[in-house]
Amino acid sequence: MSGVPERSPAGAPHGAADGALPDQGMRGPASQDKGSDNWPLWSILVVDDEPGMRNFLVKSLAPRCSAVFEAGSAEDGEAIVRSTHVDLIILDIALPGRNGVGWLKDLREQGFSGHVILITAFADLDTAIESLRAGASDFILKPFRVPQILNAVKHCHESSRLARENFVLRHTLSSRPEAAVGLIGDSTLMRDLCRALTRVAGVQSTVLLQGESGTGKELAARALHNLSPRAQGPFVPVNCASMSPELMEIELFGHAKGAFTGATRAREGLFYYAQGGTLFLDEVADLPLPLQAMLLRALEDRMIRPVGSEKQLPVNVRIVAATNRSLTEAVAAGSFRKDLYYRLQVVELTLPPLRQHKEDIAALVQHFMQQLTPSLGVEPLKITPADLAYLAQYDWPGNVRELRNLIERSLILGALNVSALYSVGQGAKSNAGRMAADAGPTTDLHTLEKQHILAVLESVQGDKTQAAHLLGISRRTLERRCAEWTGTP
Ligand SMILES: Nc1ncnc2c1ncn2[C@@H]1O[C@H](COP(=O)(O)OP(=O)(O)OP(=O)(O)O)[C@@H](O)[C@H]1O
Ligand SMILES: [Mg+2]
């Protein structure tokens, strides 16, 4: 073989659509069902010195995956692996000048983490064992028939899919059972929102969800995913405010082996784990500026480059972003890139604050009661129309999350625990007026505090630990206050 890799011209792969990657905007996971014989996101490299065998494999595989590369020697194969992302290598053992198993060991050493299926005409048990030890996923004897190789590829693909699913389960879907149910609320505002979510879910556009804290942005993002053709794919949330730019880059894009001290092996990033699904960029306004540039590039090129890697990896991911801060203000302040803002807000939806759709409070209370009673092992509470009227007077600065927390606390305490509303930072502000009015115009701050503490203590039947927890103070501070009023500890 000459130095030129034996593959389609200029490194162009054979692929499902004339060597082109599948239309990443349109291909959903519907075409990559569990155990199907199609792998639209996979690229495969065939390394064999027999042109007939290569042709046979390319013909069988090309219509089923994103790209098939071919090489006639380990050297040519290595050039392809260095420059392109490859998910699976089908590798002949008896290659000119180089043994396939030896090359496989080197590949693993260099950090190649894809699958390798070894094929050979001269098999013995020792070679088979050595291959598996070297990190081969499968070992097939020549001659083989099409279904045999398709089956082997299917197994590799399935094991990657399971690994990805496991990852997503471990890292992200941490007990959010309500997520699949959707948003509760029959008010005009919520009905309009749900209609918009359903309509937008079906298209691939990037969506920006705006709204105050606790209004249900994450729930809406999950609804968008669950209602989309990508529903069978992963939903991967990322909190953009939680990490340093360096860590964030690795988290999103992954890294190559040896990319930094301690990177003993390559690691995939969240973009990779979201393949075929939705990547939810939460608190996107806090994304550090350098990352904003990288994200913009990823969105425009539909390619990512892991840290320390020379290779670009095609990604098929739908982006949903959320923020509780105004992105236009962030753009004006120079902390958010204007071009990224325009890229993200192709569709912009706003989750209304609860104070604008108080007519949904009753349904939400009912919903949280049903949702929480089984896991808490308690009886549901009786909520009277007077209770609901009372809840409707409140401003709900913490929105639906605050209401959910209130119901949870009340269920634990066995009574609707409205006194806790006053202890919520912002809520105290909006309720200060009403409290003062309740207490009379001449009541001073000291008396107000005392009344409040006593009300909370009463609501928990005098349990000081519980009351201190609700008040957000230590038990000792609470005891000191009580001692001041009564003169006893
Ligand atoms: N319309 C709704 N129906 C049912 N549950 C809701 C609704 N809106 C919010 N919730 C619940 O309220 C809680 C907060 O919602 P979520 O985490 O989606 O808010 P968020 O807008 O992402 O808040 P933040 O900006 O603080 O991240 C969750 O438990 C969520 O399930
Ligand atoms: Mg959120």
The segment with the largest mean pLDDT, out of 24-38, 128-142, 205-219, 439-453, is 205-219
Residue 274 has pLDDT above 80, yes or no: yes
Instruction: Note the pLDDT of residue 22.
Output: 30
Q: From the CB of residue 239, how many other CB atoms can be counted at a distance below 10 Å? A: 14
Instruction: Note the pLDDT of residue 472.
Output: 65
Q: pLDDT digits over 13-24, tens only?
A: 675 433 332 322
Do 285 and 336 contact (CB within 8 A), yes or no? yes
Instruction: Note the pLDDT of residue 37.
Output: 79
- Regarding the domain delimited by 177-352, which CATH topology (the fold level of the hierarchy) does it fall under? Rossmann fold (3.40.50)
C-beta 401 within 6 A of ligand 1: yes
Tell me which residue of 104, 234, 215, 88 sits closest to 169, measured CA to CA: 234
Does 177-352 match 9-161 at the fold level?
A: yes
Distances from the Cα of 84 to the Cα of 51, 77, 112, 303, angstroms: 22, 10, 12, 12
What the block records as the tokens of 164 is 């990805």
Please indicate whether residue 228 or residue 488 has the higher confidence score (pLDDT): 228
Question: Which residue minimizes the CA distance to atom 25 of ligand 1?
Answer: 213
37: region left, alpha or beta (phi > 0 left; psi from -120 to 50 alpha): alpha
Do 241 and 203 contact (CB within 8 A), yes or no? no
Q: What is the mean pLDDT of residues 220-242?
A: 89
Q: What is the separation of C-alpha 475 from the centre of its chain, rounded to a whole number of angstroms? A: 39
Q: What is the mean pLDDT of residues 123-135?
A: 82
Which of 95-109, 176-190, 280-294, 455-469 is predicted with the least confidence, judged by mean pLDDT?
A: 176-190
Which of 98-107, 195-204, 270-279, 430-439 is predicted with the least confidence, judged by mean pLDDT?
A: 430-439
Distance 42 CA to ligand 1 centre (A): 36
Distance 282 CA to ligand 2 centre (A): 6
Planar angle of CA 231, 235, 239, nearest 5 degrees:
155
Instruction: Note the pLDDT of residue 435.
Output: 36
pTM of the predicted protein model:
0.63
Tell me which residue of 182, 189, 260, 161 sits closest to 227, measured CA to CA: 182
Assigned CATH for 9-161: 3.40.50.2300
Where are the domains positioned within the chain? Answer: 9-161, 177-352, 355-486
Q: Quick one: pLDDT band at residue 3, thresholds 50, 70, 90?
A: very low
Give, as one character, the DSSP assignment of residue 381: P
Assigned CATH for 355-486: 1.10.8.60
Between strands 313-314 and 303-304, the pairing is: antiparallel
Give me the phi and psi of 461, to 5 degrees please.
Answer: 50, 40
Q: pLDDT digits over 322-357, tens only?
A: 999 999 999 999 999 999 999 999 999 999 999 999
C-beta 323 within 6 A of ligand 1: no
Q: What is the mean pLDDT of residues 244-249?
A: 88
Instruction: Write down the mean pLDDT value for the chain.
Output: 81
Residue whose CB lies within 8 A of the most ligand 1 atoms, among 181, 186, 188, 218, for a mutation test: 218
Please indicate whether residue 131 or residue 429 has the higher confidence score (pLDDT): 131
Q: Which atom of ligand 1 is nearest to the CA of 215?
A: 21
Please indicate whether residue 456 or residue 315 has the higher confidence score (pLDDT): 315
Instruction: Note the pLDDT of residue 448.
Output: 62
Instruction: Note the pLDDT of residue 450.
Output: 73
